Structure 1
Amino acid sequence: MQIKDKVVLVYGGTSGIGKELVCKLLKLGAYVVFTGRNQKNGDDLKEELIKEISSKDEESDDSRVLYHKCDITDWPSHILIYSEVKEKLGKSIDIVIVVAGMMDSSSIIDDSEQDGIYRTIEVNLTGAAKANRVAIQHFLKEKKAGCVINTSSIFGLCAAPLGPLYAASKHGIIGLTKSYGNLFRSTDIRVNCVAPHFVETPMLAYGSKTVVDKFGTITMDNCIDAYLRLIEDDTLNGDILTISTEKSYVEKRYGDEIQERLDRVCKKRREGELDKIRDKFGYPN
């Protein structure tokens, strides 16, 4: 899928990877809608981006960039974004990138009912699951090709003994991505995921400096390039693009021979689910 003139929704676009994505996508000619929880941060970034656009003698109003305050765990907030985009841009969303997330800093010795202790899973996994479902339903209703990109982590592939809830949420993102990608394979609705190693972002401050220094970090440019690849490469669906300090590579699709066996056994059920989707939406073909 080309990027120019597409409408891209970036969840968590006011800082870190999300902010860099917003800036890059605008430079590549996309219409960008970004979300965040802090109204001032969102408004300030939007104003900054509009000034930058104006200085280049491009569209000088806010017609290429929108900010929407959003709690990713709140279903109505997701729905409102799509209607607002349609109203203000006269276009519908083509690409959804879920970057919004938080780090788990709790310890196993903490009270299990402590306020907010499971917020990491609510934001990173439940919120992302809602964003995915709303996006896919949107593409089906609009009868259009669509691209969803989720964000996992090195800890979606490995253990994180000091952040088990964070690791659980990021493992869950990979399962979500593979499952939707498997369901919609051979269609023009694609769901993929980026799993970066350590990136220099504000969230990195929550980690161990010793571990990060020894393991190394990847550049923000390499990280952003991975998202762009998943937008542009229509052959990828249900894939996990891992970015390490040495290289970027696609993880083995759908796991191993066990997954292939499951696909054969569940073929009729998968086809039945797609038939239900087609009956309701008349899409995908």
Structure 2
Amino acid sequence: MPHGPVGDFDLNGKIVLITGGGGGIHLELAKLVLAEGAKVIIADLRLQPDGEEFVKAIPKTVFFQETDVAKWAELKNLIKVSEEKFGDVPDVYVAGAGVFEPPSSDFWEDNEDERYAYVDINVNHPLKLTRIAVTALLSKNKKGVVAIMASMAGYMGQDVAPMYCTTKHALIGFTRSMGQTDRSQGVKVVTIAPGIVRTPLWLNHPEKQARYGYTDDIAIDAIDVAKGYMKIIKEGKYPGGTVFETSKAGERTIGTWFVSPPGFDPDTPVEGTSVPQEALDQAYQPINDILKKERGTGKTVK
């Protein structure tokens, strides 16, 4: 028999697992779910200083597990951790860990021999975490929520960041493909798609700020995205398959067909939701330098 949709979801007494919760958006989310009476497992490679303070201050209801999300065994281990620390499997699974154009995995630099590690972190980790969540929740006959961090880049495209855009496209397609799982199994899979956000991803990397034209005045705060997460996790009006956008233009649910620009008027784009040409030119320059070296060499592979 069908389990039925999740509907409104009270977080009081629930267990929330958050990958990438060591700082930024997902640390803010951890604080919000804790305030509603949830227990929290933060899974990340490391904690930012504010994350360390958060975990130390509330050791009985917040637990940090060092985790490399690209390693499936470490993702699976989080279920065991939850059962040992809090007595049950998680009710909510937030796939928040992700990277943006890291030098170690770059399309244009083409510096990997076997695979793009970027895809393991940004795509394979959320997909595998979702599968782990479905198995764990069904094993305990529980309803639950999977919330995935995507981006507005998931329905845009820029060849200055082709891997990032591609991975976020994949997550939006995956979320839409999982809509029926809410109705049939009671496991709701939803995605949040922010614009530019003021987080350590930018603040700790001035070289990326300079290359991609980041400034504080075009970014929203991490807490704004965390509040968006809370809506799609808790409120039944956001069913499985929902893609929820939050940016300088405000919040909206993105339909499957014919996505219009944020602000709804293509002639007057909202600041912070489009990329100025001078910023694009600046971001393209390192790519142009790479490709200039390849042109006319006669070499077909590196």
TM-score by length of 1: 0.77
1:76 aligns with 2:67: no
1:20 aligns with 2:17: no
1:48 aligns with 2:45: no
Structure 2 counterparts to residues 1-285 of structure 1, below 5 A = 1-38=9-46, 41=47, 48-49=53-54, 52-53=57-58, 62-105=59-102, 109-110=108-109, 112-114=110-112, 118-185=116-183, 187-204=185-202, 205=205, 206-208=208-210, 211-213=213-215, 216-235=218-237, 236-252=239-255, 254-255=256-257
Amino acid aligned to 1:133: R
Q: Deviations over 1:245-278 (max 9, x none)?
A: 02101111x447xxxxxxxxxxxxxxxxxxxxxx
Residues in 2 aligned to 1:4 and 1:81: alpha-carbon distance in whole angstroms: 21
Residues in 1 aligned to 2:62 and 2:56: alpha-carbon distance in whole angstroms: 11
- 142-151 vs 178-187, which deviates more? 178-187
Amino acid aligned to 2:61: R
Local SS of the residue matching 1:234: coil
User: 2:286 — aligned with what?
Assistant: none
Q: Which has the higher contact order (CA 8 A, sep 6+)?
A: 2
Report % sequence identity: 25
The root-mean-square deviation of aligned C-alpha atoms, in Å, is 2.4
- For residues 240 and 132 of structure 1, do their structure 2 counterparts lie closer, same or farther at Cα, with a shift above 3 Å needed? same
Residues in 2 aligned to 1:71 and 1:116: alpha-carbon distance in whole angstroms: 19
Residues in 2 aligned to 1:26 and 1:140: alpha-carbon distance in whole angstroms: 24
Residues in 2 aligned to 1:245 and 1:178: alpha-carbon distance in whole angstroms: 24
- Residue 135 of structure 1 and its aligned partner are, at CA, apart by 0.8
Residues in 1 aligned to 2:166 and 2:211: alpha-carbon distance in whole angstroms: 22
- For residues 35 and 214 of structure 1, do their structure 2 counterparts lie closer, same or farther at Cα, with a shift above 3 Å needed? closer
- For residues 165 and 51 of structure 1, do their structure 2 counterparts lie closer, same or farther at Cα, with a shift above 3 Å needed? closer
Local SS of the residue matching 2:178: helix
Tell me, yes or no, if the aligned pair for 1:46 and 1:66 is still in contact at 8 Å. Answer: no
TM-score by length of 2: 0.73
Tell me, yes or no, if the aligned pair for 1:32 and 1:64 is still in contact at 8 Å. Answer: yes
Residues in 2 aligned to 1:223 and 1:148: alpha-carbon distance in whole angstroms: 16
Q: Deviations over 1:57-103 (max 9, x none)?
A: xxxxx321111111112121122111121122112210011110011
User: 2:297 — aligned with what?
Assistant: none
- Residue 137 of structure 1 and its aligned partner are, at CA, apart by 1.2
- For residues 169 and 207 of structure 1, do their structure 2 counterparts lie closer, same or farther at Cα, with a shift above 3 Å needed? farther
Local SS of the residue matching 1:185: helix
- Residue 182 of structure 1 and its aligned partner are, at CA, apart by 3.3
- Residue 108 of structure 1 and its aligned partner are, at CA, apart by 5.3
The runs of 5 or more residues in structure 2 that have no matched partner are 1-8, 259-302
Tell me, yes or no, if the aligned pair for 1:195 and 1:240 is still in contact at 8 Å. Answer: yes
Amino acid aligned to 1:230: I
Amino acid aligned to 1:6: K
The runs of 5 or more residues in structure 1 that have no matched partner are 54-61, 257-285
Residues in 2 aligned to 1:242 and 1:221: alpha-carbon distance in whole angstroms: 14
**Number of matched residues?**
243
Tell me, yes or no, if the aligned pair for 2:29 and 2:223 is still in contact at 8 Å. Answer: no
- For residues 212 and 76 of structure 1, do their structure 2 counterparts lie closer, same or farther at Cα, with a shift above 3 Å needed? same
Residues in 2 aligned to 1:197 and 1:116: alpha-carbon distance in whole angstroms: 31
Residues in 1 aligned to 2:246 and 2:193: alpha-carbon distance in whole angstroms: 6
Amino acid aligned to 2:138: L
Local SS of the residue matching 1:194: strand
Residues in 2 aligned to 1:214 and 1:195: alpha-carbon distance in whole angstroms: 19
- Residue 52 of structure 1 and its aligned partner are, at CA, apart by 3.6
- Residue 211 of structure 1 and its aligned partner are, at CA, apart by 3.6
